[in-house]
Structure formats: structure tokens, C-alpha cells
Amino acid sequence: MNKKYRKVIIAGNWKMYKTIAEARAFAEEFKKIYQPSDVRVAVCAPYPQLPFLVEAFRGTGIGVGAQNVSEFDKGAHTGEISVDMIADLGAKYCIVGHSERRANNGDTDELVNTKVHALLEKGITPIVCVGESLSERDRDLTMERISYQVKAALYGLTAEQVKKVVIAYEPIWAIGTGRTATDEQAQEVCFNIRENLRAQYGALVSRKVCILYGGSMNAKNCAGLLAQPDIDGGLIGGSRSRTLPRSSAKAAGRSKP
């Protein structure tokens, strides 16, 4: 499979980190070192920072994305943010079905699918996260789990729509743990995702879909992962733990991803 059919995307997932002031400082520094290339770069930030980041990155080619969106288009849904609202803010991407939301916020496969449809209708690129737990990997259920999640997320989309979806393979055991999937493990799963896409939607579609790897990806291990034929980029958090309470995060000297 040839990567020339796809764009490489490097996306940051800021999770619930950074104040506006920290985001401002980051954007200023990042703009100084950023050099436009064929690689697409995106920052998926908390909602309040999106307007500022869109403004800061205007004209640079750096994309801005949200980390979640409501499945409803409007209505009495206290605390929710609709697709129209994130589009209004200038978001071009939206992460959907991150394992942290699946585990902690009730994002089911069905909900993920509804959100993917809603985003595509408004021209926002969904970055759909899929990944197996350690116990699923240990029981040799990885491919089954990932195939199901991908199939469910894309249910009811046309082939043209599927081409516009970005899939991020993020093994849960690798997120925030410092334990990255090996190049071979990550490639095996991403190859499998693409094979399933080929079987369901045809080769023309499968070679267009961008598949990212996420989970303790960093400057040291990214080259090997990105060299894999079916890995088209990365979704990078940078936290050491998903569950550190406020006090221990401080003790660990970590205030930003």
C-alpha cells in the first residue's frame, strides 16, 4: 500500500491541559519553529482555546480541532457543544471516541457513529479513536475489537464519506503509560484496519483513509512508527498518566502534556 495517496497528519491532543495563557505561549513558540511541509499539523484543544488558536494559526496551515462534540444538533442539552458551534469556532477536526471518553463519559460505538455522521455533514474531519485494552490484547482479541469499533464508527457512511475520516489506532495500554506499541504491533493493526476498509469499501477508498497511531508516541519512537506503510501520522498527548489527581500531577512536575 502506497502512502503517496494519503497526507501525513501529526495531531496533538491537549486533553484537559493548558490555560489560555499557556496556549498563547505555546502558539507563539510553535509558530517560530513550524515549517510548512507536506505533513498536516493539527492541535486538538479544549473548547475555550479554539477561537484563540484559530486566530493564532490563521494562514500558517496549522489546523485546529476539538476533542469531542455533542451528537445533537441543538436543544436542551446542558453543558454540550454542537457541531455547528465548533464549526463556528473554526475547528477543522474533531476527535471522536477517544478511549478516555469511552471509559469515563459513556461514548458508545453507536454514539461515536452518530457524531461521525454529524461532523461529516458539516465538513469537519472526524478523528475516530479505536483501541484495545491490555486484557483484550492478552486474550488475542485485538483485531476483533478494532474491526468492530471501526465498522461501528463508519456504519451508514458512503464510500466518499469514509475517505474523509481519519482513524487513530490508540491501544489503551499505551496511552499515557510510556509503553508504546512496537512498530510491528502498530503496523499489524493499522494494516488490518486498512484491509477491512478494502474489503468493505474497495481499494480506492482504503488507500485514501489516513490511519494514525497514538499512545506514548514521542520524538524518540516516532520515526520507526511513521516509517510503517500503513501508519500515516500520529495523535500525540504527551501525558504520563490518565488518572493522576491534581496533587500527584503537581508532584510529578507535570503541568502540561
Residues with a known catalytic role = 98, 170
Amino acid at 110: E
Decide if residue 97 touches ligand 13P (CB under 6 A): no
Cβ closest to ligand 13P, residue 46 vs residue 207: 46
Least Å from the CB of residue 52 to ligand 13P: 21
Instruction: For residues 28 and 159, give the distance between their C-alpha atoms in angstroms, rounded to a whole number.
Output: 39
Contact 84, 75 (CB under 8 A): no
Region of 22-30, 48-56, 158-166, 170-178 interacting with ligand 13P (CB under 6 A): 170-178
| Cβ contact 56:29 at 8 Å | no
State yes or no: residue 236 binds ligand 13P (CB under 6 A).
Answer: yes
Among 51, 90, 224, 238, indicate the residue that binds ligand 13P (CB under 6 A): 238
Q: CA 7 to CA 120: how far, in whole Å?
A: 18
- The interface region with ligand 13P, picked from 70-78, 113-121, 200-208, 213-221 by CB under 6 A, is 213-221
> Does the protein bind ligand 13P through residue 107 (CB under 6 A)?
no
For helices 109-121 and 142-154, give the axis angle rounded to 10 degrees.
40
Size of the site for ligand 13P (CB under 6 A): 14
In the complex, least distance from residue 122 CB atom to ligand 13P, rounded to whole angstroms: 22
Residue 220 grid coordinates:
524518540
Pairwise CA distance, residues 46 & 19, whole Å? 9
Residue 177 beta carbon to ligand 13P: minimum distance, rounded to whole angstroms: 7
